Amino acid sequence: MAAVLPSDVFSESQLDPALVKIADKVRRNERITDEDAILLFEKGSLSFVGSLANSIRERLHGDTTYFNRNFHIEPTNVCVYSCHFCSYSRVYAHRDEGWELSQQQMMDIVKSYDGKPVTEVHVVGGVHPKMNLEFFAELMRSIKGHRPDLHIKGFTAVELDYMFRKAKKTVEEGMAYLHEAGLDSLPGGGAEIFHPEIREQICADKIDGTGWLHIHETAHKLGMNTNATMLYGHIENYSHRVDHMSRLRALQDKTGGFNTFIPLKFRNQQNDMSHIKESTVIEDMRMYAIARIYMDNFPHLKAYWPMLGRHNAQLTLSFGVNDIDGTIDDTTKIYSMAGSEEQTPSMNTAQLVTLIKQARRKPVERGTLYNVIRDYSELDVKEIETNPLLN
Ligand code: V47
Ligand code: SF4
């Protein structure tokens, strides 16, 4: 698909002059300011921001759309924290209503993928007071001992902060220890909204924004890549979103260690914030588009389909997104419990490839660090379905 520049689509005489200036910056490949981003949120129509974002996406990646083959391990949903948006966790006193996996049970999950072409395990869960640094270092060693080539993307900054403090280690010491044990990279969770005005209302008791950024910076210094998320569409306003993205963009300027930015749509089922209406699909697409325009130093923008639903994730491919995460294989509960359309999130390779091809994009399987594993654009879906190495 050829990149369509905004000037081809809009009659600029009808546009707010400030929006025209932003379009010019994008055309010249210049960074937009925080004020520009707020203006885009306030005044940029879906087609305006979408066309700008699409031109950036096509400049960076052409039609390439990445996915990976992965599964999750969620060691527990017992959590010492009580984030109001969380539908998933159970307090320690009610742990009988939740789950706590043993090392053996987690290794059984890993072993159930023996012979299957997955490349990544994503380990994420609640913050359990008894699952400590040593417990997780042992898990890392066992996974690597069993399957050394499996990339371990694990633990939000929230989980890491708790386990390092409990083990009386500095962030530097704790991170180096887990990395040595086998942890390869960090997922982007726990970021929510950094601004204290919002963070104190939705997740006051866990690590603050500065602490989250410090943990990711430390990982980057050790040569590990990480992701970053933002939980949007609840009580925050546009300036809180821009503040959040601005802190991430500044850290990325410093370290270059982030791979992908993942806006996460707030889902409102079975949590303390259920009275808040969810964002509309139009607002979701505008969010992705503005993220692509503003986060100029993030190579990738991901739509996480188990949370957004596969059809809306497909739509984001026209609004700046170039990655839709992975096969998942029904191994995560965070989003089904929060009311996502995806109650048993699982897509095989053929389904992911079809989803991407229907959007007229080029499906490419990647490793966690965006190394290309296979280009599926020329492969027929039947061929994928019948080849056990491909599906
Ligand atoms: O930090 C919790 C979010 C995150 C809700 O890095 C909710 O590749 C919406 O970060 N509505 C954890 N979101 C998951 C995460 C993630 C997922 C997939 C890929 C990657 C990656 C990271 O889930 C939490 C929180 O922001 N979350 N509850 C909810 N009701
Ligand atoms: Fe615990 Fe994470 Fe849920 Fe917060 S979002 S309560 S830290 S599991």
- The per-residue DSSP string of 226-293 comes to EEEEEEESSS--HHHHHHHHHHHHHHHHHH--EEEEEEEE---TTSTTTTSPPPPHHHHHHHHHHHHH
Whole-number percent of the chain with pLDDT over 70: 96
185 dihedral zone (left: phi>0; alpha: psi -120 to 50; beta):
beta
Ligand 2 residue neighbourhood (C-beta within 6 Å): 79, 81-83, 86, 88-89, 126-127, 158, 203, 206
pLDDT tens-place string over residues 164-177: 999 999 999 999 99
* Residues 255-305 pLDDT 10s: 999 999 999 999 999 999 999 999 999 999 999 999 999 999 999 999 998
Q: For 2-6, 10-14, 90-94, which range has the lowest pLDDT when averaged over its residues?
A: 2-6
Ranges for all domains in the chain classified under CATH 3.20.20.70: 64-386
191 has pLDDT over 60: yes
| CA 82 – CA 161 distance, rounded (Å) | 16
pLDDT exceeds cutoff 60 at 103 = yes
Class of the 64-386 domain? alpha beta
Mutate to test the pocket of ligand 1, among 231, 244, 272, 329 (most ligand atoms within 8 A of CB): 231
Arithmetic mean of pLDDT over the chain: 93
pLDDT band at 33 (very low <50, low <70, confident <90, very high): very high
Q: At residue 293, what are phi and psi to the nearest 5 degrees? A: -70, -40
Nearest CA to ligand 2 atom 7: 81
* Index of the ligand 2 atom closest to the CA of residue 127: 1
Average pLDDT over residues 45-74: 97
Confidence of residue 1 (pLDDT cuts 50, 70, 90): very low
Read off the pLDDT band of 3 (50, 70, 90).
very low
pLDDT at 10: 57
Is the minimum distance from the CB of 85 to ligand 1 under 6 angstroms?
A: yes
- 328-340 pLDDT, tens per residue? 877 777 777 878 7
> What is the maximum alpha-carbon separation in the chain?
66
Answer yes or no: is the C-beta of 164 below 6 A from any ligand 1 atom. no
Q: What pTM value is reported for the model?
A: 0.95
Is 16 a residue whose pLDDT tops 50?
yes
